[in-house]
Chain A
């Protein structure tokens, strides 16, 4: 089936005609009277145009703040994003959740020209620009995003400066945000879809992976937030990104106007946290866990396998694209796949939501097929398809949310790869891709996680021997 990938026109005509003949004999072909004539194959595709690398301009202010500009001549609006290093990997041990709470507190109060800005004022100022202020936490970054008309960019940068340089970080705000984080935690634990990525990370990286709990949130103090803020919202550890119709000079001017005076006293070095531990963590060996959620409806299935540390981003992307196509062809369904890199070995996962009755069959097929699909030879057509998909997704990301795409690359320290994406994709060869694919998804390295209601455990255990029932305490730690 998969061999058809790269030859949609040349080898299928006869096959289609033969199948059509067969169908005629059985009378199985539907709606024959609508059939068109002379349209039995797609037209030849013209030569793909060369896709240039991104033109990303950058500068640095004397205080160390990096300014990046992706010029978009004619763009009606400008995206402005401040990227800091305080992602959830920086959570101190025992105070998991600090990064998220500290970020959300930025929008709860700040000062402008000596006057207090309440959370309502901050929300209003963001909305007035046309799009709500967004606070986004990732593994390696904390980000504040705004969008403005070209002549309102100064308002946007001014607001970012207020939030990061003059935040109130008040005790009341901590209580409010802590309470919201605790409710979010309760929601996450009741929802297999939300819980799955956290449980999967914990299964993969073990205790090195920080996971917030009610206890860790309860331990947060205002001093922790202040120290965390001083540690990670610093000009030399931050990037101000602009995407829109403006020059680097204009962007640098805006940054200078509002952020040149941004100075933070040197903070004590942070205690080594999860980031360091994860960089050296050895992924857990093969395992299979079934976490039953009370009265869940349906089941979230996750399978995952390690990708060696240091694997280049383009190679990871191509492997994921190709394997995704193979898995979806063999086991049709709305699969999601990702390769998550947190410093050391990466976690390559596939996940899907299944009706209870479909779980045993999917498990049996997955167990049998994953190693086979990974070991299949990578043909030139396979490589071309994976390259086309990786390029298409990059282009779509640039069209849909260019600031998020670049910010994600900045956070992962993969900006060069992002900028040179079309060229680096082309540089990958089939044997190299084959090597990575073949080393993954082996029986002794694949982990399985079921969350929710998968029916009685026995059929699933027969389909995937070694599947054990787990508790949420064992998986999450609370």
Chain B
């Protein structure tokens, strides 16, 4: 079976994708389309907490055992929580891939959610929330999210608020897990050095046997949702295969050497499945007018400023144009912002231009750390001036080609290691809805002209309202936002 450019769907609704990368390593990334945006109101961080529980322990993996299994194989794993998705990514030497797939299927199907694991996950979450706060500019980053978005849940961020999860019990987390971390809302990505046929067999064997949500519901109803009854049935040969046998994964699971595993394209999900419960799209309100907020950063030694514009969602047709504009202004040592504000005017010492396009809304954030002796306001003015200048000041062919070359290299570099490729594919699927988005963007960018960039800039940036965040220190500091 050759690697497909599109994800394949198992009969239980789970999508999977394998892409070879030369070398000695293999990576598995499990992505759930559930992130900070899906946290219920008043329970910010619930997705994060659930992800930590999935990573923590399962029926056959005691707390810490997954980690030891991977460590003894010479591997490393991370978990990632984002506004749009949650992901578990693990890299191992390639010959350990089958063991890793077993372990990931085990974590996906049987997470242990009880009072003990919940307490442990809560503690980890609290620590994860704390870590970024050591940064003296953490409040500015927080303000960009909180005030950059007007109504969308993206404004809460993804890490969450430990206080909102303090009184949560295991039942509530189980319910949230069952509704949102379903196998038919997940994608398993396998990258690295492997035999494609073997990976297809392993996927069907280890992941194909996970029960789809409808069957779970049916089993619950049929068995009166009795924990002891259903668990005890797993000791015998009947339970898991009973209902899913008709859908084929169970029979394949019994014959792991099946040469041609049956998978179906994503367009034809099994009729046994419930329709995938994708959350409704949330719309972000348009910013009515420009606004300036002042922050007081008690820890920060130098003033800082951030300018925030609303930009379209990640799957918008104009995304490649935004990427090219961002590269012209902020990528590399010769991006226009650095060239002018850092090297020429020496107003700022650190500077970034971030294009944060998410599944349902996006932001363009220009942020600068003022040089010693400056205040935030003139830095913000210079930053704004330079950003707006892109609309009118000529972009030479050479400058355009330089920006395209840097973006080409970024796209190319995603394929160099199994870890980078898995991460890039996972994000493209969860945020863009298309694992091949990066290649398609690159093809569009190659044909873009300076005029197209400037036209977009005039319409979407020059004429658009903007949020200004001024973070001064000492006497210049204003009222905290």
Contact = CB atoms under 8 A, between A and B. Distances in A.
A43 B334 contact: no
Residue with the greatest number of chain A CB neighbours at <10 A, chosen from B138, B298, B301, B419: B301
Nearest to B75: A392
Nearest to B131: A353
B95 A46 contact: yes
A130 B299 CA distance: 37
A378 to B, nearest CB: 14
Nearest to B60: A40
B76 interface: yes
A300 B64 contact: no
A400 B25 CA distance: 11
A417 B113 CA distance: 45
A354 B219 CA distance: 43
Given A133-B333, A186-B301, A190-B301, A33 B223 contact: yes
B270 interface: no
Contacts of A190: 136, 299-301
Interface in A354-386: 354-355, 358, 381, 384-385
B105 interface: yes
B342 to A, nearest CB: 8
Contacts of A8: 65, 68-69, 72
Interface residues of A, number: 96
Interface residues of B, number: 106
B220 interface: yes
A77 B372 contact: no
A191 B74 contact: no
A268 interface: no
Interface stretch (A120-128, A230-238, A434-442): A120-128
A30 interface: yes
Interface in A157-187: 176, 179-180, 182-184, 186-187
Contact of A131 (B74, B91, B117, B409): B409
B436 interface: no
A189 B134 contact: no
Nearest to A13: B60
A35 B106 CA distance: 9
Nearest to B192: A399
A24 B68 contact: no
A294 interface: yes
A40 B105 CA distance: 11
A31 B113 contact: yes
A123 B68 contact: no
Contact of B136 (A28, A29, A191, A392): A191
A10 interface: no
A37 B254 CA distance: 10
A296 B133 CA distance: 9
Contacts of B103: 42
Interface stretch (A90-98, A274-282, A327-335): A327-335
Given A187-B302, A191-B135, 6 more contacts: A1-B64, A12-B65, A36-B106, A38-B240, A120-B334, A396-B419
9 contacts: A20-B231, A23-B231, A28-B115, A36-B105, A123-B343, A127-B402, A187-B136, A193-B134, A392-B25
